[in-house]
Amino acid sequence: MSAKFDCQIEVVLRVEPSLLDRALTPEWQDSFYTFEDREAVAAHLAYNLVQGRSLSSLDGWADCEDSAATVEILDATAWDCAKQSGG
């Protein structure tokens, strides 16, 4: 049986602003995701990049260079993890 942990990491997302803006257009949101604001788009991108996905592999950004959005984990040795109850 494996233990479950909730982990928080601090990252820096570097992204071309046009990638955030295009994800907020009605046309884009009709085809892909509905985001409330630029912060929600940034969180989506950061999450997927931390998971090891490339920008061009994500729905809606297949035509983009992977270098247009990058994520840097600030301190991989200091992840803040708390054991979940029951896990």
Distance CA 51, CA 7 (A): 13
CB 64 within 8 A of CB 55: yes
* pLDDT reported for residue 71: 95
CB 13 within 8 A of CB 69: yes
Domain ranges of the chain: 12-77
pLDDT in tens, 41-80: 999 999 999 999 999 999 999 999 999 999 998 876 666 6
Query: In which element (H, E) is residue 30 found?
Result: helix 26-31
